[in-house]
Structure 1
Amino acid sequence: MTESEFLALADETLGAIEAALERAANDSDLDVECSRSGNVLEIEFVDNGSKIIVNSQAPMQEMWVAARSGGFHYKRIDGQWRNTRDQSEMYASLSKMVTEQGGIAVVLSGNA
């Protein structure tokens, strides 16, 4: 994939994560605030002040996630973002991270 294709996909991915979190907040008691600056999405949990940061790394063609549980790298494989260590899917992993940090069970999906 070219760099411009990656950047478009990364932008779409960050937008999908933000939209999924907005839906989750509207459908539950999850209290999050998302802010986006370029290729960085900051997810702040209002109740406890913790954050999850999701950003794209164009040189590596990866999405990186930093959360309380650690730092994770995801590469596009067969149409999904897969963890470079254990092959877990990014939205499933983010669901666990958001549930853990937000204190409310959340299932995120990349579908708009």
Structure 2
Amino acid sequence: MTETEFENIISDILDVIENMSDDWYERLNVDVDAHREANVLNLLFDNKTPVVINSQTPMRELWVAAPSGGFHYRLEAERWIDSRGGPDLEAALSAIFSDATGHPIVFTLNG
């Protein structure tokens, strides 16, 4: 995978997350301040929970930093797998977003 292809995939993932965070206010009355620069997305939930999601292009990884820890994901067979043996990206973000919003959130890459 080229650098450009990787960055495009990451951009698409961040788009999905931004769109979901917009929906949380409408559906759940949860305010999320989303700030994006290139392929770094900073989320600050109304309870002051920070989550940072960013690409690490040289390693072809997506990193997630949240109160529950730091996670590194690699795309393997069309799934984002935690390089340290934790849950995959969808499961991890579902748990992180559920904790941050106080509501059950199911994150999927398909939006």
**TM beyond 0.5:** yes
Query: Which gives a bigger RCO, structure 1 or 2 (Cα 8 Å, sep 6+)?
Result: 1
Report the alpha carbon displacement of residue 7 of structure 1 after superposing the two structures with TM. Answer: 0.9
Structure 2: runs of 5 or more not aligned: none
Report the equivalent of 2:2.
2
Greater mean deviation of Cα atoms: 54-63 or 31-40: 31-40
RMSD of equivalent CA atoms: 1.4
Q: Deviations over 1:7-39 (max 9, x none)?
A: 111111111121222233322232212111111
For 2:24 and 2:88, the matched residues in 1 are separated by: 19
Q: Which runs of no fewer than 5 residues in structure 1 stay unpaired?
A: none
Give the TM-score of the pair, scaled to structure 1: 0.89
Q: Percent identity?
A: 36
Task: Tell me which residue corresponds to 2:24.
Answer: 24
**Contact preservation (8 Å) 2:33, 2:44:** yes
What is the TM-score when the length of structure 2 is the normalising length? 0.90
**Structure 1: distance between partners of 2:27 and 2:14:** 20
